[in-house]
Structure 1
Amino acid sequence: MSLDKINGFDITEYAPALHLGEPYLSQTSFPLSLKPSAESSETQTSTLPNLLSNIRSLSLNGQIRRLLDRHSAIYFSNVNLADANEFSQFVHAFGFVPHEDIGNPVRRTVLANNVATANEGPNTQPVYPHNEFGLSPHYPAYHPEFIKALEEKGVKYQLTYYNKPRDQVESPGNSVLQAYGHHVLDEDDTETARAKIEKEIRRLPTATWEWINQSPSENPLGDLRVWQVLPAIRPHTRTGQPAFFNNAVSRFLNAVDAQTLEPPHLNKEGKYQPPAFYGDGSLIDRKYFDAAVEVIGRTRALVTWKKGDVLLLDNHAVQHGREPWTGDRKLLASLWDDVK
């Protein structure tokens, strides 16, 4: 590989990218920016098949994996993907194993095979920094005592799913049936519906739950409260390096916004909205979260989206009971219309 070309792509300067220092290797940019080379496009009558062929080659020879190991993210510009179906073809050209989404707390709309919107919440609500699928058991040191505590205790999340119609669209969050009710039928009685929902929750080995707010006349099924206790520090499957991989910071910032950091963690609507806890249920000192937010601010790259471009993020983490390289990978996210 030359310094500026790689199998049908040019390595280009990208203004929003960060140039990382120690302990990273020299000339490590985040993200690395690639765009189809002019000669590659000119020699083919159809750009999309040529693009997909180049991606398959780079994946098969290990080049994509090596670039992700070094840069953690690749920004593909000027690939000119026209719609979600073309993006789906692009996604599958990498040969990654699709992630199975179980119990997602946010509502998404499926647009094509293994392609969905990131979040259907209103664009007036911020999306705080988080690791994608950090709330999933199968997914990736400024205060050593904090890192040690996280390694020993893990992190505990509380998620509430309200019993709303399966096709509800007014709420940014998923309902009970949208998150766990894939096998529930309209004619199922309450006992049968709960059994099917609980069977789906059990597919998450780290989850516990309780039914709340039951009312025989108004809400016979009830709302669902789920707790997930997960590791907050996870090893990268390729490098073995520990990674701060979790959704604790986003939960903290949501609680700051809702003024629910301290017990009893009730928001203005009287709903329970706590931050993330240590795995044993104890509160995490705010000073650690404030430090994490400050580090994120210094190390983030603010990508300027353009329709049809793609950002590929390394989202590796070790799955319990599975060997490295067989864990799920998640490909994020292309933009078609707007960014929420």
Structure 2
Amino acid sequence: MGSIEPAPLFQVANYGPAVNLPEPYPGNTTFPLALSPSNQNTPLTELTQEISHLSKAGEIQKLLKTHGAIYFKDLNLKDVDEFSRFAHAFGWAPHEDIGNPVRRTVLAKNVATANEGPNTQPVYPHNEFGLSPHFPAYVFFYCISAPTSGGETPINNSIVLYHHLKERHPEFIAKIEEKGVKYQLFYPNTSRTQTTSPGNSVLQAYGTHVLDTDDTATARSKSKRRSEDCRLRNGCDLRVWQHLPAIRTHPHSGLPSFFNNTISRFLNALAADTLLPPHINKDGKYQPPVFYGDGELIPRKYFDSAVEIIGETRSLVTWKEGDVLLLDNLAVQHAREPWVGKRVLAASLWNEA
């Protein structure tokens, strides 16, 4: 387990869902590391001051390099405003949310809903914004309301996943490192204020600088400048092809990370029965998995192995109201399990200052 020196206001805590990471991490590396206030009655002001001190001293970054994730247990944050204060205490730079195909509702300063999809639908393992060239370094999740049952946030280590995939399928890793991956994203061209779908519209995803007074050509030009490679279909919807690296080197550990959203795309296509051409789902819509960067379909066996490795090494983070999970996005993937009852998580995305 990790330790903090000095850290009079926080202590390493036991946390049932934590697991030990396998190679390439040293033995007995706890994932996630759990920290809790030494005194449950410590005011938030003092806790945020301590977090600020630990972050400036590099202690938080050291723990993230060692463990990949930190679960702040028994924080008892009362609302999203207190969560916002807690997240800001780390002193990092807020991440600008550009191109996100998932709609989020802003709840407080640099805080939004984590995901607004139905509670019956799982979210599969992915790195936050792993299908974008513009991604955050750190992801916070805050539990506003815990579910009656289910609703865990599974997390798995992307560095572990790379290591074990390379052991099992070196040819796959070599090919994906050479060619990268290619995704297609879909944005319905609905209004900026549309709220009936968990999906983002064109304006919500790319239209930060688009004005209601802009003509169609101007709005389209501004939106395209915010994306990497896009085209319009039927004059109304935006389909974006993203050609990106699938493997990135972690800037602090120097270790390679399986950083992408390929597994999520695979599992969604598997559930929709669209793994094979023509990739048309039951609603008649094009729902492809992910391809190598040259457009070649990636064989299913590699993703079956990835899912198996994740199942063997992941932690199922369970939630208590007021607690916070901090992820190093380049080292950790996250997912979402279905749940019963009311469950609300808020998210906050940050980059290094």
Q: TM above 0.5, one fold?
A: yes
Alignment of 1:56-205 (within 5 A): 56-139=52-135, 141=166, 142-201=168-227
The TM-score with structure 2 as length reference comes to 0.82
Alignment of 1:241-252 (within 5 A): 241-252=255-266
User: Are 2:311 and 1:290 equivalent residues in the alignment?
Assistant: no
Distance in 1 of aligned mates of 2:92 and 2:3: 26
Distance in 2 of aligned mates of 1:261 and 1:88: 40
* Equivalent position amino acid for 1:9 in 2: F
- Alignment RMSD (CA, Å): 2.3
User: Are 2:324 and 1:273 equivalent residues in the alignment?
Assistant: no
Shift of 1:3: 5.6
Whose strand fraction is larger, Structure 1's or Structure 2's?
2
1:94 to 1:3, Cα distance in 2 relative to 1, 3 A: closer
* Equivalent position amino acid for 1:279 in 2: G
* Equivalent position amino acid for 2:90 in 1: F
Distance in 2 of aligned mates of 1:124 and 1:133: 23
The TM-score with structure 1 as length reference comes to 0.85
Task: Mark the runs of 5 or more structure 2 residues left unpaired by the alignment.
Answer: 136-157, 159-165, 337-341, 346-353
Computing the radius of gyration from Cα coordinates, the structure with the larger value is: 1
Distance in 2 of aligned mates of 1:188 and 1:52: 43
Shift of 1:172: 1.5
Distance in 1 of aligned mates of 2:3 and 2:87: 25
Which residue in 1 is equivalent to 2:162? none
- SS of the residue aligned with 1:57? helix
Distance in 2 of aligned mates of 1:266 and 1:283: 15
1:179 to 1:145, Cα distance in 2 relative to 1, 3 A: same
Which residue in 2 is equivalent to 1:33? 34
Distance in 2 of aligned mates of 1:56 and 1:238: 20
* Equivalent position amino acid for 1:185 in 2: L
CA contact (8 A) 2:22 2:313 kept: no
Q: How many residues align?
A: 307
1:187 to 1:56, Cα distance in 2 relative to 1, 3 A: closer
Which residue in 1 is equivalent to 2:143? none
4+ residue segments displaced more than 4 Å: 1-5
- SS of the residue aligned with 1:163? coil
Shift of 1:285: 0.3
Alignment of 1:212-291 (within 5 A): 212-214=233-235, 222-291=236-305
CA contact (8 A) 1:249 1:292 kept: yes
